[in-house]
Structures are given as C-alpha cells and as structure tokens.
Chains A and B, each alone.
Chain A
C-alpha cells in the first residue's frame, strides 16, 4: 500500500467524517431539518414563517402569493413552511426545543410562549394603525400579563346548523330557542327512524373543549370568571350532565358521542343528511354549499338553557413572532402587509372564516350568509387562551371530557379533576 493508497484513505476518511456530520445533522431534529436561519447581523435577510394548513385548497395558494408580495416589497426572503394541524404542535415544540424557533408561528395557542419570554409584543412589532384596526375581543384574548402577544390571524364562530328536510318531515316549524325545545325537536327527528339522528355530538378528543364551551356559555357558565377557574361550577356540571343525558337518557345523539370526533365522525353524519342538528362553522357551510348540495340546511343561533340571549362561541388562532436578533424590522413589515385589507380578508374569505379586523367586519358585512355570525362577532365568547394554564387544561379537557358522557361516566368527578388540574397551574 503506497502513497496513492494513502491519499485514497484520506479521501475516505474525509468522506466518512462528512457522512457522520451529515447524519448527526439529520438526526438533530424531526421536521426542523431545513434550519438555516441566518438570524445574525443587524437585520435578517430571511425569515422563517410556519403556517398551519387550514385547507388543502386555499392555504398554500394564499401564502405563496403573500410570500411573493412580501419579498418584492421588502427584499427579505420569506421561508414558508405549511404544516398540517395534526403535526404543528409537535413540530413547533421540536423547533423550540432545538433552539431553532421560526420567526413567525401560526398556532391556536400563544400564552405559554409569551410566558417563556420567547415572543415580541405588539409595541415592538405592530404599527398603531394595525393595532387599532383589530377587533377588541381578539386583542383582549391575545393579551398576556398586560401585553399583546397573540396577533389573531382569523376567527370563526359556531352556530346551530339544522337539516331543513328532516325538520319539515318531523313537523318542526322553527329551530329551537331553549334547551327544552332543543331536546323535544331532537326527539322528533330521532323518532323519524331510518338511521336519522337528532343531534350529532362530537365530544371525542379532537375538539371536546369547543363542543362543551358552546353549551356551557349558553347556560351562563364559563371556564374562568374574575380571574379564578370555575370549571366545576354548578352551571358547568349541569351543562355536562345535560350533554350526557342527550345520549344516555334522551337517546337523541349518535352512538358513543364521547368517542366521536368532529371531522371524521359528526360532520359526515350531517353532510350525509342523517343528523337533524349539529354545531357548525364556516368551513362546514362551505362544504355543504359545494360538495353536499342535496342537504338543505339552515343556521340559527344556539339555544340557551332559559331562553335568554344566545352566546356565540368563537375561536381565533394566532400569528406570534419570536424574538431573534435582527428580525424585528422584518416581522413588523410582515404584520403590516398581512393586515392590509386586500391580504388578510382575501385569505379569510377563501378559507370561509371570519374577519379579525374592524375594516374586515365592514367589508364582510355585505355577505348575507355570514350575518348570523358577524352580528355577534364583537361580543364573541372565547376560551381563556390568554392564560398559559389553559394550554394544558385544553389538552386535559380533550383527553377526558369524553369519559364523562359515557353511560358510566361521572360529569361532576371529571370536572372536579379538571378544576384541580387548573388550580395546580395546568
């Protein structure tokens, strides 16, 4: 083995080292492998933007167009990553864990990130014009410890959807206004037989907190009041008992509501015309209008326990921004462009959601199909997303609420346990 052999070894050694380094880099993080964030320097040349996928059709379309406009306008490269809702929690936490957070993250929670001191607040990255245009209810829900960190990207509100054909067949003239009427109507639909169901109730882990919130707000209850957790208040126990009775006593729901998810369980029952009523929102409406045209549906405000004014449950997601050296200016420009009327509203419209700005509210007011939501939007009732403890309580609710409505379930005990979790800080 002579000199030529030796050079070959050296080449091999180099190859092996490169391989080792490459592998180490690969295994460094699941999903965060495209990690060249050149945050250094005085101003970032590139920002990483992680967006949740609201729909296969529209999310990528809008954000790719946005990326182009942003880059043309600012000269900063926008590194766009769209991640499905199923994976985004996991990927976001992996990014932070590896010390490589994105610059902008789109998620349904922000308070824990704010608590960890990772985020910019509105004073740092929002212009006054943008901030004053945001609907007050969303500014409030995005505010943690007196500072506004969770910038709303879009919102949605829930309402009662009912099947007009089934209502007509069952002889129901108008959608229910009280819980008693609701049960009576659901029984009538259920009595039609033929696999018809009075009310499709999704209390499985996917979004149990949403389904429960809607009902508890319409019984005058809340998760938190006056800064204290009230998860096991008498009103809330009564609400959960009512939800349990719907399936166990009144028998007006589908099979096993505590183990039914929304998108693959309850929605298909309504879109196939089998369910008399369901709590729905914009995207369901969009599906009904385009893919399931034979289902004739109406939308009504939620019934309340005692017939008082209906409360609307709303959801907003957030676009939060991470503190990194030199990216503040690029982020400020990002928000300025995002909240421009022709950007944010275009996206919200295409996804079938609701506006988060006052100017958007005006723009949307001409759409008759949204009237039922828009009227209630300024007074919308949100979950306590401004409390970091909620981020864990929400998960506890999703994982446990379903057990309360099974025939052997104990609503009071489940809520007591959740209250304990909340008081211990989640």
Chain B
C-alpha cells in the first residue's frame, strides 16, 4: 500500500500507466518525475474529476476508511461479553491491552515469527527463483507445482500440517524415526520448544510461492547483456551474482520483503490452527492475541480487542517504515 501512496487523486491527466510489473526495469523506473506531461489543465471542472474517481474513492472508503473508523470507534467502547455496547470506555481499552500480562510474550513471539518466516522465505526463494529462471525440461510443471501451496487455502494447509505433525498418528514422526534421525516421537505442536519452529516451517512453505515469483520476475527483468558483460570481464559465477544480479534484484527483494512482512504479521490461520491445543498465550502472535481477547480469553472484550487491532496496524506501519529506513529506500529511488 505504501508504494502507491504517491498517486495523488488530483492528477487527472492522462497520466502514464504505472509500471505494471513489480520492480520492472532498472532502479529509478516509474518514479513520479516522469509525470510532467503537457496537458491542457483546467478545461474540465473539478467535479468531473470526482466523478471519474468516484468508484475508486467509494471502494477506498468502503473497504479501508469505513472499517478503520469502526475499529477506532469500537476501541473506545465499553462492551459486555454479549457484544452489547454499554457506553464509552475512553482509553481504558488501550490501557487494558498495554497492561495485559501476556503482552511481552506475545510481542516477542510476533517478532520471532515475522523475522524468521520472512528471512528464511527470502533466502530459500532466492535459490528457487534462480532455479526456476533456468531453462530445463519440465520447467512449466515445476513452476505450476511451486504455486500449489499458495493456491491452497491457508486453513486447509494448516489443518493438514496438524495431521502431519501429530504426535501419535503424524507422518513426520514415523518418517523421522524410521530413518533414525530421532529415537522417539516429538510432540511438534505441544512441546514448547518445537511449537514455534513448526509454525515457522509452515509459514515459510506458504510464503515461498509468492516470494519466489516476485524474485523470478525481478530476475527476468535483468537484461542478458549485463551478465554477458560481466562474463567478458572475467567475473566468476559467484562474483557475477554478488555484484551484478543481486544489486539489480534489490527492488524486487524490497517489494517481497515488505509485502511478506505485512502478510506474515497478519497471518491468522497458521498460528491459530497449529496452536489451538495450547493453553494460555505461550505461542500467540499479536493477531491471534487480538482474536483471543475478543472471543476466547476470560477478557472476552470486543473493545480491548479493537484497541489491540489499532496497535497492530500501528505496529506493522512502524515496522515497515523502520525497515525501509534501514535499507535506505530513498536512496534506491534516486
């Protein structure tokens, strides 16, 4: 979302269609600088522009702004367990969330979950994208196969993994014991040491397709002649990758990292489904924490949950901005 924020509603020139493929071309493409075009401004009155923008504005209002207003409104309400609004709660809901005993655990879990999933996903996807960009027999089939985890519903994937991880009937324990990697079965989802790694594994698996395809698109947009030039200059394969491919891949990496951060942070089904047997908040992230506040915990408070929701939005915004700062996004643009 943050990327498109610069397309101002006022600019109703026949503006250039925004560069469609993510990270297409060399860095610097699609910058707002190219927007200056000769148009006869002022012929149509402003409300004509509004009409053209109407559907888009209505959409933005309906699916972004209105729910946001409702969320904030709910976060200041005092709700009964039945959902009945009893009046205003002021900022009580916010202080309730901030003073919640499980908050520390939940925040730490979220950090581990997001950082681990995004990092591992990107590293693996880099390799996978490289592999998929090469010509080989059956590439089409492999490319389709990679898409499958993405196409499958997350709840179904997660449920499938609860079966695979199951202590008694799960195939993973059978497999690992039969090849003598482990001596006795591991309770992947019940043992506190293994719960988070198991969830991360599933998170990575379902994030790889999208990431690999973004990176693949990035790889495809690198012209062959730069590789050729590198080869002629005597660069080894590793050098060519480090110093030619990788820098040119940065826009795609940036996009996939930011989008993945947001997706993974907001991921509910995996954490919820794999963790549903565990009492308390030991392995919850801020998203499942929010849900438990509303419906499952003894708090059972829609208002507090809405307040947690507001914090979640702020948290991910701050995280994304920090990340962009860290990788010097501005520099990249110039």
Contact = CB atoms under 8 A, between A and B. Distances in A.
B226 interface: no
Contacts of A97: 74, 79, 83-85, 302
A22 B55 CA distance: 12
Interface string B20-51: 00000000000000000000000010001001
A268 B84 contact: no
B200 interface: no
Contacts of B51: 9, 12-13, 16
Interface stretch (B125-133, B135-143, B293-301): B293-301
Given A16-B51, A116-B82, A395-B300, A256 B279 contact: no
B54 interface: yes
Contacts of A39: none
B58 A19 contact: yes
A309 interface: no
A221 interface: no
A89 B280 contact: no
A278 B48 CA distance: 72
B134 to A, nearest CB: 43
A402 B279 contact: yes
B80 interface: yes
B328 interface: no
A265 B83 contact: no
Contacts of B61: 20, 23-24
B190 A259 contact: yes
Nearest to A264: B162
Interface stretch (B62-70, B88-96, B242-250): B62-70
Contacts of B58: 16-17, 19-20, 23
B263 interface: no
Nearest to B167: A255
Interface string A383-401: 0000010011101101111
A420 to B, nearest CB: 11
B187 to A, nearest CB: 5
Nearest to A26: B62
A345 to B, nearest CB: 30
Given A97-B79, A118-B82, A205-B278, A12 B54 contact: yes
A261 interface: yes
A399 B168 contact: no
Contact of B280 (A96, A256, A400): A400
Contact of B55 (A15, A195, A274): A15
Contacts of B84: 96-97, 116, 118
Interface in A84-130: 89-90, 92-97, 112-113, 115-116, 118
Contacts of B279: 204-205, 208, 258-259, 398-403
B82 A113 contact: yes
A230 interface: no
A314 B66 CA distance: 45
Interface string A335-350: 0000000000000000
Contact of A260 (B81, B85, B277, B302): B277
Nearest to B278: A259
A395 B299 CA distance: 9
B8 to A, nearest CB: 19
A213 interface: no
A421 B298 contact: yes
B276 interface: yes
B297 A96 contact: no
A222 B25 CA distance: 71
B59 interface: yes
Interface in A237-278: 254-256, 258-261, 264-265, 268-269, 272, 274
B169 interface: yes
Contact of B63 (A23, A195, A269, A421): A23
A392 B295 CA distance: 10
B55 A27 contact: no
Contacts of B236: none
Contacts of B189: 259
A426 interface: yes
Interface string B268-295: 0000000011111000000000001011
Given A19-B55, A269-B168, A395-B296, A205 B83 contact: no
A274 B191 CA distance: 22
B62 A27 contact: yes
Nearest to B168: A269
13 contacts: A16-B54, A19-B62, A27-B66, A93-B83, A118-B82, A208-B279, A255-B168, A255-B190, A259-B279, A260-B277, A269-B168, A392-B298, A395-B296
Interface of B: 44, 48, 51, 54-55, 57-59, 61-63, 66-67, 70, 74, 79-85, 162, 167-169, 187, 189-191, 276-280, 292, 294-300, 302
Given A16-B51, A94-B83, A255-B167, 7 more contacts: A204-B277, A204-B279, A205-B296, A392-B300, A395-B297, A396-B298, A399-B296
